[in-house]
Amino acid sequence: MAMTSQAPADKPLLAALRGEPQWPRPAWLMRQAGRYLPEYRQLRADKGGFLDLCDDPAAATEVTLQPIRRYGFDGSILFSDILTIPRALGQDLHFSAGEGPVLGRLPDQASMMDHLDGGEATARLAPAYDALGLIRAALPTQTTLIGFAGAPWTLATYMIEGGASKSYPQTKAMAYGAPEQFRALMAFLIRSVADHLIAQIAAGADAVMVFDSWAGSLDARAQVDWSAGPLAAVTARIRQVHPDVPVILFPRRAPHAAQALAGQHPLVTLQVDFADDLASAAALPFSAVQGNLDPGRLLAGRGEIQHATQAVLNAVPRTRSHVFNLGHGILKETDPDAVHAVLEIIRG
């Protein structure tokens, strides 16, 4: 059974995601829990590898809460990784120092279906649900808790390429050259992603976010077919179970996907990359927009940080619902005090 969320009026970020403009603008940052914080680096050194943190609900809870204690953000996002889904479906996964994620051979669909229908996938993803329950209990009542997952296209690139890629040759060869085979994989991933997000909502998430980080690698037609289409399908499956839970979609650097998604479902927020125009995005029929400060600006001096923050605030009128965020994840080289400079302008 899904947990009952706090009334939106008590949670400014949740209210904004539901299309109710807030002032000051509610704020949180992508990757706000992570390597730029000394307390995170210490915990990771004590715990071991990155996946060890994700698989330990108590450790994942501590990491998630660290930036809330330090900055008092309006939103808290679960500490996990998008690649927990491929691993739960039976694909080997490990993280190599300096190389990022490395995935084993793509399992056949029958094997992945066995993991999904047999309960192995749910058991492997259970630490995330356990962590959400712990986080929910520890968060301030006004803080919105956000769950997340990777989008089907982005997950497919990792699963087919076996890791990160600059040009996605094997994925595109399948998507463009064997579309029926690729469509079958995407249909399976749509179900897996939606099920994971539905379970996160049941565990305590107020809202969920879907990261299509590599949507911008697609041409205009494929952005609609392989980014927007699956994102809309995931949202539709969530709506069948949780019709009132906001969904944040991030088709990164994929304007054709964003246009195709506009107005399809209620209670959908568009996350805007820093390379895209926030004012133009705010004109699209989404419940809210989120973004889009370049995380590189946080590496500059205090004056430039605050000037850039004010420019983002000015891009969206107060009558439009806007959640302040970065246009991509915070960089590990960021001085933690730079975030205070951002928040001073937002809250001042």
CB atoms within 10 A of CB 48: 11
Is residue 142 helix, strand or coil? coil
Q: Which two tokens stand for residue 87?
A: 């691993």
Rounded to whole angstroms, how far apart are CA atoms 252 and 214? 6
Asked if 44 is an active-site residue, the reply is yes
Query: Catalytic residue among 18, 25, 31, 253, which?
Result: 31
**Helices 38-47, 57-71: crossing angle, 10 deg rounding:** 170
Query: Catalytic residue among 55, 74, 81, 206, which?
Result: 81
Rounded to whole angstroms, how far apart are CA atoms 124 and 84? 8
Q: What are phi and psi of 216, to 5 degrees?
A: -70, -5
Count CA atoms closer than 13 A to 121's CA, side-chain side. Answer: 22
Rounded to whole angstroms, how far apart are CA atoms 193 and 175? 19
Asked if 70 is an active-site residue, the reply is no
Is residue 107 helix, strand or coil? coil
Rounded to whole angstroms, how far apart are CA atoms 132 and 201? 9
Rounded to whole angstroms, how far apart are CA atoms 130 and 255? 36
Query: Catalytic residue among 158, 168, 212, 253, which?
Result: 158
**Helices 57-71, 120-138: crossing angle, 10 deg rounding:** 30
Asked if 31 is an active-site residue, the reply is yes
Asked if 41 is an active-site residue, the reply is no
Asked if 35 is an active-site residue, the reply is yes
Q: Which two tokens stand for residue 123?
A: 């058991």
- Residues known to be catalytic: 31, 35, 44, 81, 158
